[in-house]
Chains A and B, each alone.
Chain A
Amino acid sequence: MGGQAPVVQRIRIRYAKRGPLRFTSHRDFARAFERALRRAAVPIAFSQGFTPHPKISYASAAPTGVGSEAEYLEIGLQAEVDPAQLLTALDAALSPGLDVLEAVPAGEGSLADRIDASRWLLELPSVDPAVAAAAVKSFLGAAEVPVERMTKQGRRTFDARPAVTHIAVTEQSDLPSGAFAAPCAIIDLVVRQVTPAVRPDDVLSGLRVVAGLEPPVPPRVTRLAQGTLTPQGEIVDPLDADRAAIGGR
């Protein structure tokens, strides 16, 4: 016991939760990822102590049932590996639908400090885009949008409006999950990370509150990006700085 090998390399990973596996909860993913590390024989480093834990840290995880193209984590390794090989090995070790998309050696600074907003895609099958657009307009025009949610502390009400920096009905096609027959309203949403967290669900509740929008079937939500929100409203990929540090693109 004790005497765990030190961390010699840290690697940041972007991964996706797709299709049916979007129903994987964060705890489920964490267990699957630890098994994948063992399957792929990744030389993961462990914490010291009586029950050593693998060195994995997660950026804020998408809610259960929400798909994502932009989940992030960082691992600490006790031996150096080639990031491209790591990507291939880990992706093969995870179920299809939990897909490893990028692996980049960590540069300076922390991943968490580079993430303060997310872009979400909301697909509302059987909702007329014009109706959705009207609801979005009411949402944007409201001074505050009080929504309710069950939390561990019980039912609480908070304002969903200030965290939303962008919301619009789009005409997008070729979506990651584009399986819905028309009509289907598609909403592009950017939300800042705040406390208490405002989630896409809360924005959908907000649309009901301000405009009575009630999708007849559960909307499908996908996180498209996470990162730093620029004053222009763009989201900067949190791995850009790491790539720059190793002279990447």
Chain B
Amino acid sequence: MSARSVFPQLEQLLPLVSKPIQYVGGELGAVVKDWDATTVRWALMYPDAYEVGLPNQGVQILYEVLNEQEDVLAERTYAVWPDLEALMREHGVPQFTVDAHRAVRDFDVLGLSFSTELGYTNMFTALDLAAIPLESKDRGDEDPIVLAGGHASFNPEPIADFLDAAVLGDGEEAVLEISGIIREWKAEGRPGGRDELLLRLARTESIYVPRFYDVDYLPDGRIQRVVPNRPDVPFRVAKRTTMDLDAWPYPKKPLVPLAETVHERYAVEIFRGCTRGCRFCQAGMITRPVRERSITTVGQMVKEGLEFSGFSEVGLLSLSSADHSEIGDMCSGLAEQYAGTNVSLSLPSTRVDAFNIDLAQELSKNGRRTGLTFAPEGGSERIRKVINKMVTEEDLIRTVVTAYSNGWRQVKLYFMCGLPTETDDDVAQIGRMAHEVIKAGRAAAGTKDIRCTVSIGGFVPKPHTPFQWAPMVRPEVIDARLKMLKDVINSDRSLGRAIGYRYHDGEPSLIEGLLSRGDRRVGAVIRRVWEKGGRFDGWSEHFSYARWIDAAAEVLPGFGVDLDWFTTRERDQAEVLPWDHLDSGLDKDWLWQDWQDSLSEYEQDDCRWTPCFDCGVCPSMDTEIQIGPTGKKLLPLTPVNNLRVPA
């Protein structure tokens, strides 16, 4: 098999495109291996622009885990911008990896990480440029296995015809198991070709091979059932859970790009999973249970990650970072260790309470003060009960008052619009809340010179959440509410001037909703959009609502359904959902009960601190909550007084 570099051809095109550095590789942490010395070869793709894809933790972790195996090679590929795409087509340059500029079609696996469904059209571009047939059924033994992972793969049905396989859940161990299966199959002389390899993957019961399942529909358009079309594959495919994050301390050697990217920091996950139970949050539902990384492993990773990368910022990531059982000691310990070094520490994704301000104070000891962001998500007490975001207005006011009186001049507040049962008044209350924040903040700070920013996004119901049955709100209603909120904010000129307002139109959310909860029939819509030029749908300057509406109107009536059917229609309990055969561990009856509780504005506790509420994940996945405290502390670092000269 050939695996020559396409760089000589690509190089001629690079002077003609914008930001050519994103296509040349050469990052610190990048690995280039001898092709012929390896057996299993992965091309990992984050299907968005390099500047977004490079910092992605998932890809970096899998890249490192795979390359640590002696006979496995992993390289990376990203979506190319339209300027380069046009030149590649003109000059016959295929989709390439940035590491050794090899053609993607030469690899055994093309692994795509979908954080969001809006990357689907970019997958088509990559497949097409790679000369890999778009549909799984048209691929031959010379084509890579096209494999999806990431949160969107918990419902891969809209792209099922274009995937060979999908992995649900944590990838660290899955990629090694898949490599093992490919290694063995190759060693045996590739018996049974591609079909046998896919069968071996499916038999793990945790790798979904869509072509082995048939979907039957009822006359009214709903799904009747999804069943295996052969006897030797499981009825349901289960997600993966990596237990003991201390045993998987990746990334150890983070990729450090030369190009400018969206995050320039060493990011370390301090825990995975979240049991706060916010009903809109797919990440919190599908990543259960909570698994903490210990304070000492975090300390070690930060030390080595900074030494390796030279980054000057550390992000302590998770779905709700302040909930780590030793977050206080972790923050004060790290702040102590890096005092006077110009290293800044940040704690994104935190909850609304004053404890956060203490942590932020601790982290800003170095003098660099990062912004404070809180996410009440809903404007009224009522809607916050619906979504199970247990924050009262008093909590929020107390928190921001603490922030303003401790010297912060600006806080950001995140909200959503279009939530189930939402009324105009729920949204209007966001404006009144922002007014109260400014009033209380001015009093606390003793100055009028404080600000807050209200940032509001459209709600998209996601699979495997209690809102998977919920109707979406129409874009025109969302847009009207957003405009009304602006008027409420500006109804008091003095307060309104201190409030920044950022929002997104309702239209892209509706399309994201179509892709999130779609079934296999939606695949034809995505393909049509791509054929009509759809690219980079996560970018407002590239997204075209009209293109999606037109493609949906062209394709869906043939199936007896339409865009509304997938988006603004409420599902009932009996309906077979497109992802019911994909097991996130959550008990569907429990999700339904939580949806009913939501409608009656009844809140659910967090099982970390209260008894189990039977979501179903731990028993069905044979997992359990892993939390501290360990009682350990971070020790002072020995200052480096000498140049690090390589031996």
- Stretch of A87-95, A109-117, A222-230 contacting B (4+ beta carbons < 8 Å): A87-95
- Asked if A57 lies at the interface with its beta carbon under 8 angstroms from chain B, I say no
Complex: how many Å from CA A217 to CA B15? 10
Point out the residue from B24, B307, B342 that lies within 8 Å of A52, measured CB to CB.
Answer: B342
Residues of chain A within 8 A (CB-CB) of B309 are: 35, 39
Complex: how many Å from CA A42 to CA B640? 10
Residues of chain A within 8 A (CB-CB) of B644 are: 39-41, 89, 92-93
What does the 1/0 interface line of A71-98 toward B look like (CB < 8 Å)?
0000000010100011011001101110
Complex: how many Å from CA A27 to CA B14? 18
Complex: how many Å from CA A145 to CA B470? 69
Residues of chain A within 8 A (CB-CB) of B14 are: 23, 65
Residues of chain B within 8 A (CB-CB) of A209 are: none
Complex: how many Å from CA A56 to CA B368? 21
- Asked if A15 lies at the interface with its beta carbon under 8 angstroms from chain B, I say no
For B366, give the chain A residue with the smallest CB separation: A1
Q: State which residues 20-36 of A face B: CB under 8 Å.
A: 20-21, 23-25, 27-29, 31-32, 34-36
Complex: how many Å from CA A142 to CA B549? 59
Q: How distant is A217 from chain B, measured CB to nearest CB, in Å?
A: 5
Complex: how many Å from CA A88 to CA B645? 6
Residues of chain B within 8 A (CB-CB) of A40 are: 643-645
Residues of chain B within 8 A (CB-CB) of A139 are: none
- Asked if B371 lies at the interface with its beta carbon under 8 angstroms from chain A, I say no
Q: How distant is A74 from chain B, measured CB to nearest CB, in Å?
A: 18
- Asked if A120 lies at the interface with its beta carbon under 8 angstroms from chain B, I say no
Complex: how many Å from CA A52 to CA B308? 23
- Asked if B215 lies at the interface with its beta carbon under 8 angstroms from chain A, I say no
Residues of chain A within 8 A (CB-CB) of B557 are: none
- Asked if B459 lies at the interface with its beta carbon under 8 angstroms from chain A, I say no
Q: State which residues 1-60 of B face A: CB under 8 Å.
A: 7-8, 11-12, 14-16, 19-21, 23-28
- Asked if B611 lies at the interface with its beta carbon under 8 angstroms from chain A, I say no
Q: Is B311's CB under 8 angstroms from A46's CB?
A: no
For B15, give the chain A residue with the smallest CB separation: A218
Residues of chain B within 8 A (CB-CB) of A79 are: 641
For B12, give the chain A residue with the smallest CB separation: A217
Residues of chain A within 8 A (CB-CB) of B642 are: 41
Q: Is A38's CB under 8 angstroms from B310's CB?
A: yes
Q: Is B21's CB under 8 angstroms from A41's CB?
A: no
- Asked if A64 lies at the interface with its beta carbon under 8 angstroms from chain B, I say yes
Q: Is B26's CB under 8 angstroms from A36's CB?
A: no
Complex: how many Å from CA A39 to CA B264? 15
Q: Is B310's CB under 8 angstroms from A85's CB?
A: no
Residues of chain A within 8 A (CB-CB) of B641 are: 79
Q: Is A20's CB under 8 angstroms from B7's CB?
A: yes
Point out the residue from B16, B21, B643 that lies within 8 Å of A24, measured CB to CB.
Answer: B21
Point out the residue from A21, A31, A46, A96 that lies within 8 Å of B260, measured CB to CB.
Answer: A31
Complex: how many Å from CA A21 to CA B20? 10
Complex: how many Å from CA A34 to CA B258? 12
Residues of chain B within 8 A (CB-CB) of A37 are: 310
Complex: how many Å from CA A23 to CA B24? 8
Q: Is B260's CB under 8 angstroms from A27's CB?
A: yes
Complex: how many Å from CA A39 to CA B646? 11
Q: State which residues 89-137 of A face B: CB under 8 Å.
A: 89, 92-93, 95-97
Q: How distant is A147 from chain B, measured CB to nearest CB, in Å?
A: 17
- Asked if B278 lies at the interface with its beta carbon under 8 angstroms from chain A, I say no
Q: Is A85's CB under 8 angstroms from B311's CB?
A: no
Q: Is A95's CB under 8 angstroms from B28's CB?
A: yes
- Asked if B312 lies at the interface with its beta carbon under 8 angstroms from chain A, I say yes
- Asked if B259 lies at the interface with its beta carbon under 8 angstroms from chain A, I say yes
Residues of chain A within 8 A (CB-CB) of B8 are: 179
Complex: how many Å from CA A59 to CA B640? 30
Point out the residue from A39, A65, A86, A96 that lies within 8 Å of B20, measured CB to CB.
Answer: A65
Complex: how many Å from CA A64 to CA B12? 14
- Asked if B367 lies at the interface with its beta carbon under 8 angstroms from chain A, I say yes
Point out the residue from A24, A35, A52, A179 that lies within 8 Å of B310, measured CB to CB.
Answer: A35
Complex: how many Å from CA A147 to CA B367? 50
Q: How distant is A26 from chain B, measured CB to nearest CB, in Å?
A: 11
Complex: how many Å from CA A89 to CA B644? 6
Q: Is A36's CB under 8 angstroms from B258's CB?
A: no
- Asked if B286 lies at the interface with its beta carbon under 8 angstroms from chain A, I say no
Q: State which residues 206-221 of A face B: CB under 8 Å.
A: 217-218
Complex: how many Å from CA A88 to CA B312? 22
Complex: how many Å from CA A32 to CA B8? 25
Point out the residue from B15, B20, B26 that lies within 8 Å of A97, measured CB to CB.
Answer: B26
Q: How distant is B256 from chain A, measured CB to nearest CB, in Å?
A: 6
What does the 1/0 interface line of B349-382 toward A look like (CB < 8 Å)?
0000000000000000001100000000000000
What does the 1/0 interface line of A170-206 toward B look like (CB < 8 Å)?
0000000001000000000000000000000000000
Residues of chain B within 8 A (CB-CB) of A23 are: 14, 20-21, 23-24
Point out the residue from B12, B24, B367, B643 that lies within 8 Å of A1, measured CB to CB.
Answer: B367
Residues of chain B within 8 A (CB-CB) of A89 are: 643-646
Residues of chain A within 8 A (CB-CB) of B646 are: 88-89, 92
Complex: how many Å from CA A39 to CA B643? 9
Residues of chain A within 8 A (CB-CB) of B20 are: 23, 64-65
Q: How distant is B83 from chain A, measured CB to nearest CB, in Å?
A: 14
What does the 1/0 interface line of A3-28 toward B look like (CB < 8 Å)?
00000000000000000110111011
20 contacts between A and B (CB under 8 A): A20-B11, A21-B24, A21-B258, A23-B14, A32-B256, A32-B258, A38-B311, A40-B644, A40-B645, A41-B642, A46-B342, A65-B15, A85-B643, A85-B645, A88-B645, A89-B644, A92-B645, A96-B26, A218-B12, A218-B16
**Inter-chain pairs besides A39-B309, A86-B643, A89-B645, 16 sampled, C-beta below 8 Å:** A21-B24, A23-B23, A23-B24, A24-B258, A28-B21, A34-B310, A35-B28, A35-B309, A38-B311, A40-B645, A41-B642, A42-B643, A89-B643, A89-B646, A95-B27, A218-B15
The 7 closest A-B pairs by CB, nearest first: A35-B310, A39-B310, A20-B24, A38-B310, A23-B20, A218-B15, A89-B643
